[in-house]
Amino acid sequence: MYAIGEEETVGDAEYVNIWTLPERPARGPKPVYSRAQITEAAIRIADAEGLEAATMRRIAAEIGAGAMSLYRYVPSRDNLIELMADRLMGEIDLTGVPSGDWRADLTRYADGLRAMWRAHPWIAAVQRSLPGLGPNQLLLIERLMGVLDPLVPIDENLGLMALLNGYVEGAVREEISAAEELRRSGLSEAEWMARGHAHVDRLVKSGDYPIFTKIVMEARRPHLSRDDQFRHGLRRVLDCVAAALPPTAQPAG
Amino acid sequence: MYAIGEEETVGDAEYVNIWTLPERPARGPKPVYSRAQITEAAIRIADAEGLEAATMRRIAAEIGAGAMSLYRYVPSRDNLIELMADRLMGEIDLTGVPSGDWRADLTRYADGLRAMWRAHPWIAAVQRSLPGLGPNQLLLIERLMGVLDPLVPIDENLGLMALLNGYVEGAVREEISAAEELRRSGLSEAEWMARGHAHVDRLVKSGDYPIFTKIVMEARRPHLSRDDQFRHGLRRVLDCVAAALPPTAQPAG
DNA sequence: CCGCAATTGCGTACAACGTACTCAGTGGAG
DNA sequence: CTCCACTGAGTACGTTGTACGCAATTGCGG
């Protein structure tokens, strides 16, 4: 009787919340490595060769450990990637935010987020659905949402920050797209240009895509620098934010 | 001499542009399957069980083929995913766009994009850096960018559409996050609530994260329905677009 | 100070993945 | 008709994440 369910191995994927799991229990030999060290090594590899190159064996080799040793510190590779993502959030420096000048604060955040993405383009491939609840992420939420917190209701605030995040991510994705695609393909730049542009040129020459053609022309000879383009778009977003604020809180017109 | 490069197998990853590669050459036995059929089967599996479940063997089984047969139609799994993504873009119906009423057109696009994301949440895990140049994507670009094309310069247009896309993606990511996380974890809803919420509750009760606490409270008892929230945010984005247009083109104040 | 038990690093092993290679069979072009 | 470019598919390989087990190490109760 009761043969079904006897084994209790129902779920195949054991879900683990890394933020509830303490790094070190007690007693036993001194650990040689650490979560932080492993996370750092993984980020170093991902920066240099992409996220897919950051395999467990490769990371272990980077710090001079055996492959399975990592599992004494981290439950799974997915959890490690969560740690990596949170570590990256810590790179966005928001000390002193909120300062009282919301426009300056949000600009600083946008610049910081952009810099982080450009330094670690592989973050585009992570992008979890839930925001993640690591210490750095939480601190960031507190500070960023604190900028507009007394001025607008919380749901309005969330919407505006989603808008800001969306703008920055979209803009940076465009910036890093060419470089990332090039790296992923594994081709030399000349070869990649030859293959990729051949198709684009064919589309352009066909005459069927007039607006796409305009985009290509603009992309090949942009009017503004990357930085200016970003600043310009950001100003537009911030104007949008300003419009959503109550009229009593408009420091710099 | 010239030993180096003799083999020509320099790169390990052979980059293939799927859009230049014709599906059928000529001559030989009639193919039993087709790219479209394979793409459709893959999408069906991804919809039901997530993108990671759409393995080559699984897709092949779905259409009753051998695993390796798929490679007669598609060079690699990555290319197949490109096909899937482009197929999804075709779900966004923009016939008759641009219509002359830019606000209506952009609303229709936003609603269509949102519906597509909600129907195929795994698209969040794809998100290539480059936009991709499949037929559906190209058609979408032509129509969407055509909405504002004569009104604003092309680089401005690109920025505004990036803003719109960013808003929709951000909003939908939040909408689907809980469901996706639940599915990925493989737990029952009750179990997931118990584990996930326990951590959130601890953070809330600690008192260290006042703004995070506000967010949680709002999320648990939202003031507006999902749809209303989306509409509200979208209106704000469109107001932002309106502000960037020249004063001569303001049809509906 | 001495064992005991908890915990370490890590070698071995396995299942699942993408996909290279191979080959018998098929069917349009000459 | 013959020919050969093409088909579907079986087998096999390299790489991945990770379960398991074992010898070595160390803090703690006595």
DSSP state of A218: H
- For B17-46, how does the pLDDT look when each residue is reduced to its tens digit (9 = 90+)? 898 888 876 677 888 999 999 999 999 999
Pairwise CB contact (< 8 Å): B186 & A12:
yes
Cβ–Cβ < 8 Å for A12, A19: no
Q: What is the pLDDT at residue B9?
A: 32
The predicted pLDDT at position A1 comes to 34
Q: Would you say B204 and A134 are in contact if contact means Cβ atoms under 8 Å apart?
A: no
Residues of chain A with pLDDT under 70: 1-14, 25, 129-131, 185-188, 195-196, 249-253
In b/e form, how buried is each residue of A38-57, taking b as 16+ CB within 10 angstroms? bbbbbbebbeeeebeebebe
Whole-angstrom distance, CA of residue A55 vs CA of residue A45: 9
Q: What angle do CA A99, A101, A103 make, to 5 degrees?
A: 125
Q: Which residues of B touch A145 (CB under 8 A)?
A: 211-212, 215
Our measurement of CA A32 to C1' C1, in angstroms, reads 27
Task: Report d(CA A171, CA A166) in Å as an integer.
Answer: 8
For residue A111, count other CB atoms closer than 10 A to its CB. Answer: 16
Give the bases of strand D that a protein CB approaches within 7 Å: 5-12, 15-21, 24-28
Structure tokens given for A214: 């305009």
The arrangement of secondary structure in A97-244, i.e. its CATH architecture, is Orthogonal Bundle (1.10)
Contact A158, B229 (CB under 8 A): no
Chain B positions in Cβ-Cβ contact with residue A224 (cut-off 8 Å): 155
Torsion sign (Cα): B102, B105, B108, B110: negative
Which among B181, B192, B218 has CB closest to A155? Answer: B218
Mark which residues 116-175 of B lie under 8 Å from A by CB. Answer: 121, 124, 127-131, 133, 138, 141-142, 145-146, 149, 154-155, 158-159, 162-163, 165-167, 169-171, 173-174
The residue that minimises its CA distance to C1' of C21 is B68
Q: Tell me, yes or no, if B3 comes closer than 8 A to chain A by beta carbon.
A: no
Q: Identify the sign of the CA torsion A142, A146, A150, A151.
A: negative
- Which residue from B15, B162, B210 is facing A186, i.e. has the nearest CB? B15
As a rounded value in angstroms, the CA-to-C1' distance for A9 and D14 is 30
From chain A, the residues in CB contact with B173 under 8 A are 129
What integer pLDDT is reported at residue B199 of this predicted model?
A: 85
B124, B145, B199: residue with CB nearest A20: B199
Domain B1-89 adopts which CATH fold? Arc Repressor Mutant, subunit A (1.10.10)
Q: How much is the pLDDT for B25?
A: 67
**Statement: the CB of B28 is under 7 Å from strand C:** yes
Name the residue ranges covered by the structural domains of chain B: 1-89, 101-244
- CA B214 distance to own-chain centroid: 30
Distances (CA, A) of A95 to A105, A109, A139, A150, B129: 10, 11, 10, 19, 31
Beta-carbon contacts of residue B248 (< 8 Å; ≥ 6 apart): none
Please, what CATH class does the domain formed by A12-89 belong to? mainly alpha
Task: Look up the CATH number of domain B101-244.
Answer: 1.10.357.10
DSSP B52: G
Ordered per-residue pLDDT tens for chain B, 253 residues: 333 222 333 334 567 889 888 887 667 788 899 999 999 999 999 999 999 999 999 999 999 999 999 999 999 999 999 999 999 999 999 999 999 999 999 999 999 999 999 999 999 888 776 667 899 999 999 999 999 998 999 989 998 998 999 899 988 988 888 777 777 766 667 777 776 677 888 999 999 999 999 999 998 888 899 999 999 999 999 998 999 998 876 655 4
Q: Is the peptide bond before A150 cis (omega within 30 degrees of 0)?
A: no
Peptide bond connecting B98 to the previous residue in cis, omega within 30 degrees of 0: yes
Q: Which amino acid is at A96?
A: G
pLDDT at A250: 61
Smallest Cα distance from B82 to chain A, Å: 13
How far does CA B74 lie from the centroid of its chain? 21
pLDDT at B253: 42
pLDDT at B8: 32
Residues in B 37-76 with any Cβ partner in A closer than 8 A = none
> Which nucleotides of strand C are protein-proximal, with an atom < 7 A from a CB?
5-13, 16-21, 25-29
What is the DSSP secondary structure assignment for residue A7, as one 8-state letter? S
User: What number of CA atoms fall less than 13 Å from residue A69's CA on the CB side?
Assistant: 18
Chain B residues lying within 8 Å of A11, measured CB to CB: 186-187
Q: Tell me, yes or no, if the two domains A12-89 and A97-244 fold the same way.
A: no
C-alpha B88/C-alpha B76 separation (Å) is 19
Burial of B109 by CB count in 10 Å (0-12 exposed, 13-18 middle, 19+ buried)? buried
B14's tokens = 């052979």
